[in-house]
Chains A and B, each alone.
Chain A
Amino acid sequence: MTGDNVLSREERFLKKFSAGAEAETRKIVSALRTRLDYSREFDYFIELAETCGDAEAVSCRTGRRTVNLLCVQAPVEMVHAAGFQPFRVWSGSSAASRFSLAAAPALMCPMLKALLGSLRANEGARDGNWIIPTTCDWVIKFPEMASYECPSFLPRVFWLELPHLKDGPNGGEKWLDEIYRFKKYLESMGEKIDRHSIAESIELYREAWSALTKISRMRGCGLLANVWFALIAGTMFLDDVRKWTAAVLNVAASSTAAYRNNARVFLAGSPIVFPNFKLHLLLEETGMSVVADDLCSSERIIPGAAAFEDTSEFGLMSALAERYHRACLCPTFIDNDRRVNNILGQRAETNFSGVVFHVLKGCHPYDIEGMGLERTIKDRGLRFIRIETDYMPEDERNLSSRLEAYRCTLPTPQ
């Protein structure tokens, strides 16, 4: 404070950000709670989502120190096995995105821009150790941008050097070396990771994935709205994984039909993070139901159960490494041609008739990959629409009109 009643520019911004972020969360929470398909089983997830950027709250809830993970390539099982709580750092707040305007390039990925804003506003959020796989350019340069305001940020970053050629001759070996380096790093801060602890963590997250699979199938059958699925998946790392799994199974056991007769679509592309559920809600409003997706914020939040036969420590580590590398469908990989198979393969199960491809403005890897994907999808006789947007609500009407027009091209299931 510069005086008793006069706020500095930074403080004014901060106040504005806090008010904006709270209003944003309140708005979406209220929208969720007033839905016709709302039930009390969702309250747990709503409450978790309300504290989605608060690592301290997660730490208190789980009784474990959090380790911040950016992107989806760092094996969460290893973090858990070392005695930490894996905490996926992201932000979907448009207020946070605005707050970082002065500190970030204009065309920066909105998700990272919002994350930068959150870090700028909340000093506590900068604490802790950061695990950052070298995925896209924005992610690589993110710590540098964060360190402009917080010089101590950069030394706390652990880089996981991601080989971008999955099926290449050395990619797997290099990645396994990285995973072993990661293990050493985690052990230097926490507990020793041995065969038993890692096996236990693998089993816990397998159960979590299995529960997620159940509600994913419910979504595919029209028994659960996509907005709930996205909310539930996005909260996976905000509480103890056992509690989260139990709550998901509770939802799986109690939910009833959410919608009928909507056009069925597949949602692909850039992540959609709470509270920015703009596209999820617009899709519903325009008469479409997302029956499957390949977003790293929901369906791909963890890559699935690690399959293995060799139960030695090496076998488990290799299984995890491969699961988080080869099975990852992130567009930053060079040989990602099988990504389209994931979409087409799910058509048989969920019978969707169109693909909505979401690109966050500035998210170049998805933008580029979307072009090839569009051609393949259309060749298969499916409808395709590309939605390029950011976190700002100003383009909602425009998007709504485009989605309505797209909806008219899709058949309505009987």
Chain B
Amino acid sequence: MRLSRLRHTVQYASFLALMYGGRFGLRLGSAVPCFSCPYVPGCGGYCYLMGLQGYIGFGMSFAVAKGIGLLHALAYFTLFVVLVAVFGKLWCGWICPFGLIQDWFSSVRRFFGIRERVIPFETKQRLAYVKYGLLVYIAVIPPLATAGLIHQDFYLPFCGICPGKSILPLFAGETSYMTLNFDNAVSLGFSAALLMTTGIALVGMFFKERFFCIFCPMLALIHMLKPLTALRLIKAPSSCTGCGNCRRVCPMDIETVHREKTSRDVQSEECLDCGRCVESCPSGGALGIYFSKLKLFASSRACAAETRKIR
């Protein structure tokens, strides 16, 4: 089975599990390292970012740090770290339901033969800081709300602007997050900001593959745990002929894999572990996905010869 087919199968299976699993008794808890949105009625698990902002993370840091809540938070954090350590960025490239939706947008663009927009290298480097900025935002705002220094509606500040909150519930028939909330000025501000980020995300996702992943704080969080993760993208620089296939098929336009001439570890910050670079590399063994030292999948000319047809 080709790697991309396997990936698509996993993507669809996890989409169903994370979006509708709750309706069939699936409860994966609040430490899921991808956009398994809690605002989707009947979802199978909760995105860890929500927990991190709210009741198991920064949001409760002042109020319950002294009590049993801290153990609760630590337990979820440990679970999150374990899940990231085992699956690494497969959460982004293979499991995230929002990732699959972004891939659907790209498929529509490809179907119509519309050109993908390329973000210039310098701009991309600057945009890379946005996701870390969002992590700081997640860490700073909720404690202020808990302490009563700002309005309590700031309790989940990232969810308030995350396009996943407005788009993902649509697949469960929930449209209320696509409207303005007039409860108070803060709610109105957040709902307006959400509609704006949703609009930007929808347009961006259509013209640029995995557009939202550029800004995703979950990707940044997973990357920060890189030293603990077992799953790696490894390059054998002495086998690379520099054809550039890896760079061209990369949904995140990563250049490192192509350019690297000495180091074996080419798992960069933006990498989603989707494996497209490995699949398209015609040099036998030049690229591989490893779980610790175990080779899971390696490039080969035979596999590259099966480059997908235009849909």
Question: Do residues A308 and B248 form an inter-chain contact, with CB atoms below 8 A?
Answer: yes
Known: A210-B306, A213-B302. A341 touches B283 (CB 8 A): yes
Contact B240–A319 (Cβ < 8 Å): no
Q: Which of B114, B259, B301, B310 contacts A213 (CB 8 A)?
A: B301
Is A304 touching B243 in the complex (CB atoms < 8 A)?
yes
Query: How far is A251 from B294 in the complex, measured between Cα atoms in Å?
Result: 36
| Cβ–Cβ < 8 Å partners of A348 in chain B | 239, 284-285
The number of chain A residues touching the other chain, given as a range, is 35 or more
Are the C-beta atoms of A309 and B241 separated by less than 8 Å?
Answer: no
How distant is the Cα of A306 from the Cα of B245 in the complex, in angstroms? 8
Contact residues of A with B, CB < 8 Å?
A: 166-167, 195, 199, 202-203, 206, 209-210, 213-214, 216-217, 303-315, 318-319, 322-323, 326-327, 329, 338-339, 341-342, 344-346, 348-349
Cα(A266)–Cα(B242), bound, Å = 20
Which B residues are CB-close (under 8 A) to A167? Answer: 242, 259
Closest 4 CB pairs of A and B: A327-B243, A345-B239, A210-B305, A312-B115
Sample of 19 more A-B contacts, CB < 8 Å, known A312-B114, A329-B241, A348-B239: A199-B310, A206-B307, A209-B305, A210-B306, A304-B304, A305-B282, A310-B116, A311-B110, A312-B110, A319-B248, A322-B243, A322-B248, A326-B243, A327-B245, A338-B241, A341-B239, A341-B242, A345-B238, A345-B239
In the bound complex, do residue A341 and residue B302 qualify as a contact, i.e. CB atoms below 8 Å apart?
no
A4 to chain B, nearest CB (A): 60
> In the complex, are the beta carbons of B239 and A217 less than 8 A apart?
no
Considering only CB atoms, which chain B residue lies closest to A304 in the complex?
Answer: B282
Which residue on B lies nearest to A335, using beta carbons?
Answer: B242
| B-side contacts of A326, CB under 8 Å | 242-244
The listed residue (A209, A307, A319, A339) touching B241 by CB distance below 8 A is A339
| Residues of A contacting B241 in the complex (Cβ-Cβ under 8 angstroms) | 327, 329, 338-339, 341-342, 345
Check B307 against A307 for contact (C-beta < 8 Å). Answer: yes
Question: Do A311 and B113 form a contact, CB below 8 Å, given A209-B305, A217-B302, A345-B241?
Answer: yes
CA distance in complex: A199, B310 (Å): 7
Q: Residue B113 contacts which of A210, A216, A312, A319 (CB distance < 8 angstroms)? A: A312
Q: What separation, in Å, do the CA atoms of A312 and B36 have in the docked complex?
A: 32
Chain B residues near A312 (CB, 8 Å)? 110, 113-116
Contact digits for B183-206, partner A, Cβ 8 Å, 1 yes 0 no: 000000000000000000000000
CB distance from A341 to the nearest CB of B (A): 5
Bitwise, B38-69 to A at CB < 8 A (1) or not (0) is 00000000000000000000000000000000
**Given the interface contacts A209-B305, A311-B310, does A344 sit within 8 Å of B276 by beta carbon?**
no
User: When the two chains form their complex, are residues B249 and A309 in contact, meaning their CB atoms are under 8 A apart?
Assistant: yes
Whether A323 pairs with B251 at a CB distance below 8 angstroms is no
Taking a contact as CB atoms under 8 Å apart, the answer to whether B307 and A305 are in contact is: yes
CB nearest to A306 among chain B residues: B307
Closest to A340 in B: B238
25 contacts between A and B (CB under 8 A): A167-B259, A209-B305, A213-B305, A214-B302, A305-B307, A307-B245, A307-B248, A308-B249, A309-B106, A310-B110, A311-B113, A315-B115, A323-B243, A323-B244, A326-B243, A327-B242, A327-B243, A327-B244, A341-B239, A341-B242, A341-B283, A345-B236, A345-B240, A345-B283, A349-B285
The answer to whether A166 and B115 touch (CB under 8 A), given A213-B305, A311-B110, A346-B284, is: no
What's the Cα separation between A313 and B304 when bound, in Å?
A: 21
Known: A203-B309, A213-B305, A305-B305. A341 touches B249 (CB 8 A): no
CA separation between A310 and B307, bound complex, in Å?
A: 13
Q: Are B307 and A195 in contact (CB under 8 A)?
A: no
Query: Of all chain A residues, which has the CB nearest B280?
Result: A307
Q: Which residues of A have CB within 8 Å of B95?
A: none
In the complex formed, the residue of A with least CB distance to B303 is A213
A residues in contact with B311, CB < 8 Å: 311
B305 to chain A, nearest CB (A): 4
Report Cα–Cα, A341/B251, bound state, in Å.
Answer: 26
The minimal Cβ–Cβ distance linking B261 to chain A, given in whole angstroms, is 8
Report the nearest B residue to A342, measured CB to CB.
Answer: B241
**A327 contact set on B, CB distance < 8 A:** 241-245
Q: Is B17 an interface residue (CB 8 A)?
A: no
A202 to B251 Cα, complex, angstroms: 21
Give the complex CA separation of A195 and B112 in angstroms: 10
Residues from chain A with a CB closer than 8 A to the CB of B304 are: 304-305, 307
Using an 8 Å CB-CB cutoff, how does the interface string of B275-309 with A read, 1 for contact, 0 for none? 01000101111100000000000000110111101
Q: Contacts of B110 on A, CB cut-off 8 Å?
A: 309-312
Hey, what's the 0/1 contact readout for B245-259 against A, CB within 8 Å counting as 1?
Answer: 100110100000001
Name B215-253 residues within 8 Å CB distance of A.
Answer: 236-245, 248-249, 251
Indicate whether B273 reaches chain A with its CB closer than 8 angstroms: no
Q: Which of A305, A315, A339 contacts B116 (CB 8 A)?
A: A315
